[in-house]
Structure 1
Amino acid sequence: MIIERRAQFSEPVGRGGAGADKIPGPVLVSFAVYLALAGVAWWVVERLLPDRLVLNLFGHALALKELHRRLGGILLVMAGMIPGIFAAEILLGGWRNSSLRYLLVERTGSGMSDLVCFLCGQGRVMTLAAIAFTFGASLISGEWIHDRLSAATGLSLSLASAPALLQIMIYLLIYTFFDYWNHRVSHTRWFWPLHRYHHSAEEFSVMTAVRTHPATFTDVVSTTLPAAALKLSPELILSVNLFIVALRYLIHSRIDSNFGWVGRYLIQSPTHHRLHHILDTTLPTANFALTPLWDRVFGTWRDEGDQSVVIGVNTPYRHGAWVLSDMWRDYCDFWKALVLRETSG
C-alpha cells in the first residue's frame, strides 16, 4: 500500500526542549479563557441542577446526593487535567511539537475538528447532567444484576468491604477488560462506520481523545455497570473514571515516548496507541486496550512505533469546523452496514 500523506513535525520530538520556541501570547490567553469557562460551568451547575436526584428502576430507588460537589469536583479536576497534559507535552517535546501549537497555530482541518468535538461535547454543562443521569441508571442496573446473581447462586459479588486499593485494582481490571472488547466490537464492520470518525484524525493531539461520534453513547453504562454489580462505591467509580479520562488524553498526545516497561506492561503509551491508528491497512489492527495486558492475552499487541507513523483512514473526510456532514455520512454508513450489510472504508 502506498501512503501519500506523511506525519509532519517541525522538528524531532524530544529535541526541542521547553525553550524550543516562545509560546505565543494568544495561547496563554486561551488557557485563561478555558479556566474562566470552567468557572462559569461550575456556577451553572450550582444554579441550574438540583443537588439531589432520586432515580427508580427495576424496583430500586437510588438517591444521588451532593451532585453539586461531585460535578464541581469533576469540573475542577478537568480544568487542571488538560492544561497539565499540554504542559507535559511542551516540557518533554518542545513547543513546536505540542498539541497546542498544532491546534492553535497550524490550525489544520483535522485539528479544527478535534477542537470542535471538544467544545461541543466536553465543554457543555448539560453533558455533565447527562453523565449524572446515565451514571445513576447504570448503578441501579448494576444493583439489579447483583441481586439477581446473588439470588441465583447464593453468592454475593460485593467488594464493598474490601480495602480501597484492592477495589481500585479489581475495577481497573474489569474496566479495561470490558473496554478492550467494546473497542474490538467498534472495529467490526457493523460498528466501524461510527468509530471511524475517531480514527479519521490525520494527526494526534490531546483533543483527539474526544473526537468521537455522538451516536457512540454506551461507554458510561458498559464501564460503570459491572462495577456497580460489585457494589463499588460511586466515589471510587468516579475517581477511577477520571483517571481513565486522563489516560485517554495522554495516549493521544504528541509525546514521543513508549514509557519503557510501564508502557509495555501497565498502561498504553502514545507511541503504542499511534500504531492502533495506523493508516496502513495491510497491517492487522493492534493495541486496543488501555493496558497492554489484554492485548498480550488476546494476541493483539505490537511493541514498535513512534510519532512518525502515518495515521488516518482511507475514507475521505472534509474535516474543519463543520463536523456535521462527516458525522451524518458516518451515521448513514452505520445503518447501511447494520441493516443492508453494506460496508465502507
Structure 2
Amino acid sequence: MGGKHLNGILVVNKPAAISSAGVVAHVKRLLAAGRVGHTGTLDPFARGVLVCCVNQATRLARFMVQGRKAYAAVMTLGVETDTQDVTGRVVARGDWTGVSEAAIASAVRRFEGAIVQSPPVFSALKHEGVPLYTLARRGQPVQKPPREVHVHRIRVLAVALPEVRFEVHCSAGTYVRTLAVDIGRELGCGAHLSELTRTESGGFSLEQALTLEEVEDLSRRGTVRERLIPMAQALAGWPEVAADRRLLENVRTGRRLTRRELSVPPDAGPAAAGDGLLKVMDEQGELAAVLLFKAGQDDFEYACVFARPEG
C-alpha cells in the first residue's frame, strides 16, 4: 500500500543543524506521503521530539500544537547573543565568576509558574506574513508584544560554570532560549542557550522517537506502518464516544448531532461542561471524527471528519 494511504503520527528525533521544515520534507519523501506536517517548530540548532502528522493526521495538528512541552537544556553564563542561542552574534558579556549554585537555584525558581516573555526577534513568528528571523537578518527586527506562558517545572540538573544544565516543563509557546537570557539577567551576568533537546511534546516522548536513519530503514523495508501511532491515540485525555453504524452514517453525512444523541455523560470533561473536543470512534476503534462542543450549546460542531479506512 502506497504512502498516500498511511495515516498517523510519526515521532521523529530531530537532529541538530536541520530545520523542522527540512525534517518534514525528508519524512514526506521517505514515506512518499501526500501530506506531512508537524505540531511545533524546533530551532535548527535544537534536537529532539518533532511530532510529524502524516496524511489525514495533518488535520489533527491544530489540536495538538497547544500540548505541553519538556526540554533538557544548557545555558552558558556570561555571554548574550542576538539570537539568544549559540548560533548568534555576541552582543554583551558579563562576569559569571562570582555566581554561586545557590544563586542559580534561587534565580531559576523565580521563573516557575505564570511568567511574561517577550518573543525573540529571531523566531518563526510572523509579522505581516514574514517570519521574524527573516526580518531580523535583513536588519529590520520586529519585537512582538510580551505574552504570558506557563513554566510548570524548572530544575537545575548540574552546574559546571559557566555552563548550567537544566530541565523545564512548560506550556506551548514558551521560548527556552528567552528563559535562559532572563535567568542570566536575573543573575546579573547574562546568558545564552547553548544546547536544547525537546524530550516531550503533547504527550509524545523522546523514547518513542525515531531517527531519520531509522525512518529511512523502515521505509526501505516497508514496515514504517508498524511505527505509526494511530490517530485514535492522538489527543490523549480527551473524551470519546464509540459510534454504531447509524451514528457513523450521520457523522459522515454531516447531519446535526446533539449531546443527548451522542450520550455524552455529565462527567465527560470539556465535552460535557464547557468548550472542548470529543473524539468519535468507529466500530474498529479508528478515529472517525473530531467534534467541537461549546459551553451552553446543545449541538456539536464538526471540527474534522475522516474518510473511511482503505481496504
Same-fold call, TM > 0.5?
no
Instruction: Report which structure shows greater RCO (CA 8 Å, sep ≥6).
Output: 1
**Larger Rg belongs to:** 2
TM-score by length of 2: 0.25
TM-score by length of 1: 0.24
Of Structure 1 and Structure 2, which has the larger fraction of its residues in strand? 2
